[in-house]
Structure 1
Amino acid sequence: MSHSGDGLHTPSYLSWRKLQLSRAKLKASSKTSALLSGFAMVAMVEVQLNADTKVPEEMLIAFAICTTLLVAVHMLALMISTCILPNIDTVCNLHSISLVHESPHERLHWYIETAWAFSTLLGLLLFLFEIAILCWVKFYDYSKAAAWTASVILVPVLVIFIAFAIHFYRALVAHKYEVTISGIRELELLQEKIDAGDTEGRANGIAPYSNIQIV
């Protein structure tokens, strides 16, 4: 859809932009959660442990807890996405800004953000921990050096991941702040123009609502 520059800051268009953003977040969340939870389930099912394994029981408990949390977090994000996304898609496919109020994306904003955070931030962190623990469980009986190598490689990856997440969210918050400030300034300019028009009308002896007819 194409819009003129004057209509880009109307409440309906801003709500439409939020609708499209919520739709994109839910789609990304559902795909990521389905993929990673499937990998976690396969890893837990396919891992082979010997009866006389030397893997410490604490490590097995950590593996079970991490896998369960990973699947539970992604399933929660997937459930939220599956429940909300059809209602948003229905409004988006109509391609009409006038119907944006029929979408629940404003009322369910916090649920959408929760699904996004669980799928991207918390879910990916748990997945990295899952890989580290799985390497120990898998290679402990054969080569501890291989397990240590995998853990050492994952440490800088985890640091980079956390640093990028912090930088991304700070940049996103700064961008939202700038957009909000810009919108407030435009509203102030619009209010000043309206006040100036009313003042000029009074100076010319014209009432602001002289064209209104009462029936």
Structure 2
Amino acid sequence: MVEVQIDPSNGQKIPDFVLVIFGICTTLLVTVHLMALMISTCILPNIEAVSNVHNVNAVQESPHEKMRWSIEVAWVCSTGLGILLFLAEIAILSWVKFLNVSKNAAIASTVIVIPAGILFIAFSLVFYKKLIAHKYERHSEGLREIETLATALDTSDLNNV
């Protein structure tokens, strides 16, 4: 992507809007991955510090629990948005490279990338739905346990009175 050679003196004329879209997509792709890398790099020492301490209370004191949103942003950026941008980058790159050689090749590349993007989005939604269902079930089970304990405490209080 970085070494795309466009030589206008060769008669290779690519429309400006295609080059602008390619530049924007490339910049966003690199920026998103660098941001995710930076967040991950900043969080890693905290996780390693906690993993080396054999004290359960240290886990609650660790800043990585408070930085959960940062971890999720890094994951969404790198995995979700990054892959979509990369697929778009491939499609745009095919237009930049093949437009003057074979428009059909550029169209074919785009036609292949679109279903891949749709499959990726569908998989992501199904995976996220299962993840949320698991979290919901886990929290519901925790609430049922608390309710059972509260009922047991109320019953023992009534028996003591």
Question: Paired residue for 1:86, among 28, 42, 45?
Answer: 45
User: Match of 1:106, SS?
Assistant: helix
1:115 deviates by: 1.0
Are 1:171 and 2:133 counterparts? no
More helix by share: 2
Question: Paired residue for 1:184, among 143, 150, 153?
Answer: 143
Find the counterpart in structure 2 of residue 50 from structure 1: 7
- Per-residue deviation, residues 39-58 of structure 1 (Å, max 9, x unmatched): xxxx12x1111223121111
5+ long unaligned stretches in structure 1: 1-42, 204-215
Find the counterpart in structure 2 of residue 133 from structure 1: 92
Are 1:105 and 2:60 counterparts? no
1:135 deviates by: 1.0
1:89 deviates by: 1.5
5+ long unaligned stretches in structure 2: none
Question: Paired residue for 2:105, among 142, 146, 149?
Answer: 146
1:90 deviates by: 1.0
TM-score scaled to structure 2, two decimals?
0.91
1:136 deviates by: 1.0
Letter in 2 for 1:49: I
**Deviation >4 Å, runs of 4+:** none
Which is greater in Rg? 1
Q: When the two structures are aligned, how many residues end up with a matched partner?
A: 159
Q: CA RMSD in A?
A: 1.5
Q: Distance in 2 between matches of 1:159 and 1:73?
A: 20
